Amino acid sequence: MRWFIWFSLLCLAGLAILLAVLAAFGWLSEIGHDIHFAIAVTLGVLLSSALGGLLMGLIFYSHRSGADERAAGDGSNRRGPESRP
């Protein structure tokens, strides 16, 4: 789990550096936006990516911990096509 935290922090630092370089070269003024626009877009992308990564992590954790099998049980309480009258 620590590798994920370090990887996330490294990606965040990379995006911050990229944003700083683009702002220093005047990229934002060329497209007609200011630094507030870039910060808002960056935060939106980061939060969306973090939510997606968290949900995927929960899926993998659930699968590896065996919670899926425990929730499904042995299948005896499920009604399938063969149990219909």
Task: Determine the distance from the C-alpha atom of residue 10 to the mean position of all C-alpha atoms in its chain, rounded to a whole number.
Answer: 15
**Residue 24 domain-assigned (yes or no):** yes
| Residue bearing tokens 């299948």 | 75
Q: Which amino acid is at 59?
A: I
User: In one letter, which amino acid is 15?
Assistant: L
Q: How many domains does the chain have?
A: 1
List the pLDDT tens digit at each of the 85 positions of the chain.
677 778 878 877 887 888 788 777 777 676 677 778 778 887 888 888 888 888 888 888 888 887 777 777 765 555 555 555 5
The answer to whether residue 76 sits within a structural domain is no
Residue 81 within a domain: no
83 DSSP 8-state letter: G
Structure-token pair, residue 70: 């425990």
Expressed as residue numbers, the domain containing 36 is 2-70
11 within domain boundaries: yes
